[in-house]
A and B are shown apart, each in its own frame.
Chain A
Amino acid sequence: MAAKERRIILKNIDRPGYGNQLDSYLEEGGYEILKRALQSKPEDLREEVRKSGVRGRGGAGFPAGMKWSFLDFKSGKPIYLLCNADESEPGTFKDRQIIHKDPHQLIEGMLISAYAITAKVAFIYIRGEFPEGAKILERAVEEAREANFLGENILGTDFSCEIYVHRGAGAYICGEETGLIESIEGKRPYPRIKPPYFPAALGLYMCPTIVNNVETLCNVKHIVAMGGEEYAKIGRPGNTGTRIWCVSGHVRKPGYYEFEGGALTLGELIYDVCGGLYPDRTLKAVIPGGSSMKILRADERFKGKDRDGNEFDLGLEDLILDFDGIAQSGSLSGSGGIIVLDDTTDMVEALANVSSFYAHESCGQCTPCREGSLWLKKILERMSRGQARLEDVDLLKSVADQIPGRTICAFGEATAWPVQSYVAKFRDEFIAKAEQQAAGHSRGNGCSEDKIQLV
C-alpha cells in the first residue's frame, strides 16, 4: 500500500471550515513565520533556503537557494521578485488550488522571500484565464495590507514591500521566465536569449530578478518555519520536501496529491492513490510531468546507473515519484502534471492533440520552433483525419529533430519531445494507422469509443 499523503502546502486546502480569507489563515498561525523572519538577517534566510535543498516546482527543478545566490546584490539596482502563477503546462493544476483556496500562504511565502532577497516590489504573474484567482489574490493583498503584513514598514520594521497582481492574457509562453518578464514590461512576451539575460543579473527592467513558481514560494514559508536542515530531512536527498502531483486522464480518482519526495512509486500513485484505471482497461502510457515531457510506455524497461553507480532496471510502475526517480526513465517530472492514458487511446490522435497545443503557443521568434511546430501539427492532423502515409513516421521524426537546441527558449524541446518520444515508442501504431487507412479504414485503430475523440 502506498505511503500516506503528507500535506504541508495543501494542509488547509479543502479542509472543511477553512476559507480563503485572512481570518482563517490567522487562526492557523498565519503570518507568524513572517514575523519571525523579519527578526533574522536576509542572508541567514537565504542560507536556510540553500540548506533546505528545495528545487523549483515550476518545471526545471532548479535548486531555489542556488538561484537566489546568483542574484547581483551589488549592482545598486532594485531587486524584483516575480511569482510565476502562469500555470499553463497542460496537465498541471496545483497552483490554481493554492491561489483559490489558500492565497495568504502564497503571500506570506512571497513576503519572506522578498525580504530574504531584499526585494521591495514583487509581482504575481497570473494567467489571464484565472480571473477569479486574480480577484482572490487582489483581495488577499488588500487584507494583508490592512493588517500591515505588506506595504510600508511591515510590522513596525524598516522593511517595506508591495505585491501587485499582474494578469496575463492567454499566452502559454508567458510561463517561460524571460517571456514573463517581457510581458510585465508591457511588450510581446518574447523569451530573451540566455546568456546574457539571466534574470538574476538582467531581469525585469534589466534589474536583478528572481522568478519562482507558486508552490516553490509557498515552500519557503515552511523552510523558514522548520529551518533548512529540518526541511531537508523530508523526502530523499536531492528531492527534499513534498511535491504536489496533479493526476488527470484515465484514472478513477484524478486530482492533486501531496507526498514527500520519493515516498511512493508511480504505480502506487496510479493504482492505490488514484483508484486505478476504469474497469476492463489496461495501462498504455503515462506522461510524467506536463504534456511537454517525454511519454513513457507501460511495458518499457528503464535501465541505467544511478548517481552512486548502482545499476537499475525498472518498469514504469516501479519508478520512484520525485525529480530523480522520474528522471531514471529518461523523461522528467517537470511541473508535476501526470497524464494517464489507457488502451483506448489512439496515440496518433493523442500526439496530434498535444502538437496542436504547441503549434498554437509558439511565440514565433525562432524559425525551427515556429515552422516546425506548425508542420508537426499539420502532419498529425492529416494522419488523424484519415490520410496517414507510411513515410509520415520518419517525416515527423525528422521535423522534430531539427528543433531542440536551435531555439531561444526551452519551448523548442517542449514541442519536439512529445513527437520524438511518441514516434519512437509507438512506431507500430503510427505505421498501422497508415496501413489501415490505405486499406480503406478512414479512422484508425485504438479509438474504441466514439466519445474519446482527440482532434
Chain B
Amino acid sequence: MNLKPETLEKIEAVIPRYPQKRSAVLPVLHLVHEDQGYISREATEWIAEKLGLEPINVWELITFYPMLRDKPVGKKLVRVCRTLSCALQGSYKICETFREVLECKLDEPTPDGEVMVEFAECLASCHTGPVVMVNDELYEHVDETKAKEIAGKVRNGTGGTPSDTV
C-alpha cells in the first residue's frame, strides 16, 4: 500500500484533533478510502497500528458502515436513492436505466473496474428526487433523459467530478 504524501499529511493532521486517538479511526478510514478506493487488509492493519488498535477494531467498522468497502467498487460509483420519496418519483426505473446504459449488474463492478451501480438509502434531498450520487456529486430531478445523459458521462469518464452539473 502506497499512500500519497498528501494523504499521510492529512492523517497526521487529523489525529491530534481528538481527545482520544481511537476517535480518529473514521476520518483516517475516509482518507485511506479516498486515496486507495477501498480499504485493503494491509490498510486495515496499517490503520490499527497507527492508532494503537487491534485490526479487528478497524475491520468491524469496515463491515458495519455501508460507505467503507473492503474491495474496489469501480472508479465511478453510481448510487441511486431508493427510499420512499424518490421511489414515488420513479427511482427504481432510473436505476434500471443506469444499468442498461452502463451495461452492468446491480452491486457488481464492471469487469474493467470502471463503474458500479447500487441503491442508496435516503440522501436527504427528497424534494428533488429522484436523486443520484456519482462519487461525491449529487444529481437532482433525474428523469430518463437525464439518467441517460449522466450515464453517458460516467461511461466516458467525465461524470461525477465536483462542479459537474447536468
Residues of the B chain whose Cβ atoms lie less than 8 Å from the Cβ of A78: 19
From B27, B29, B64, B121, A357 is in contact (CB under 8 Å) with: B121
Answer whether residue B105 sits at the interface, using C-beta atoms and an 8 A cutoff.
Answer: no
Nearest-CB distance from A437 to chain B (Å)?
Answer: 20
Nearest-CB distance from A298 to chain B (Å)?
Answer: 16
Instruction: Check if A169 sits within 8 Å of B29, measured CB to CB.
Output: yes
Answer whether residue B146 sits at the interface, using C-beta atoms and an 8 A cutoff.
Answer: no
Instruction: Check if A184 sits within 8 Å of B23, measured CB to CB.
Output: yes
Residues of the B chain whose Cβ atoms lie less than 8 Å from the Cβ of A188: 60-61, 64
Report the separation of the CA atoms of residues A370 and B134 in the bound assembly, to the nearest whole angstrom. 30
Interface size class of B (residues with CB under 8 A): 35 or more
Nearest-CB distance from B56 to chain A (Å)?
Answer: 11
Answer whether residue B26 sits at the interface, using C-beta atoms and an 8 A cutoff.
Answer: yes
New contact pairs (12) apart from A341-B88, A454-B92, CB-CB < 8 Å: A78-B19, A88-B121, A90-B83, A90-B121, A92-B122, A96-B125, A164-B17, A169-B67, A248-B129, A249-B126, A453-B92, A454-B88
Residues in chain B within 8 A of chain A (CB atoms):
17-20, 22-27, 29-30, 51, 53, 57, 60-61, 64-68, 82-85, 87-88, 90, 92-93, 120-129, 133, 136, 138, 162
Which residues of A (44-95) have their CB < 8 Å from a CB of B? 78, 87-93, 95
Instruction: Check if B65 sits within 8 Å of A169, measured CB to CB.
Output: yes
Answer whether residue A110 sits at the interface, using C-beta atoms and an 8 A cutoff.
Answer: no
How many contacts between A and B, using CB within 8 angstroms?
Answer: 148
Answer whether residue A34 sits at the interface, using C-beta atoms and an 8 A cutoff.
Answer: no
What is the size, in residues, of chain A's interface with B at 8 Å between Cβ atoms? Answer: 60
Answer whether residue A255 sits at the interface, using C-beta atoms and an 8 A cutoff.
Answer: yes
Nearest-CB distance from B156 to chain A (Å)?
Answer: 23
Nearest-CB distance from B144 to chain A (Å)?
Answer: 9
Residues of the A chain whose Cβ atoms lie less than 8 Å from the Cβ of B19: 78, 121, 205
Instruction: Check if A91 sits within 8 Å of B122, measured CB to CB.
Output: yes
Q: What would 20 A/B residue contacts be, using CB atoms closer than 8 Å? A: A90-B84, A92-B124, A128-B67, A130-B124, A162-B17, A166-B26, A169-B30, A169-B61, A171-B65, A185-B22, A186-B25, A188-B61, A247-B127, A249-B126, A254-B126, A254-B127, A337-B126, A353-B84, A453-B90, A453-B93
Report the separation of the CA atoms of residues A322 and B125 in the bound assembly, to the nearest whole angstrom. 22
Residues of the A chain whose Cβ atoms lie less than 8 Å from the Cβ of B66: 169-171
Q: Please name the residue on chain B nearest to A94 by beta carbon.
A: B124
Nearest-CB distance from B20 to chain A (Å)?
Answer: 6
Which residues of A (339-355) have their CB < 8 Å from a CB of B? 339, 341, 345, 350, 353-354
Instruction: Check if A339 sits within 8 Å of B121, measured CB to CB.
Output: no
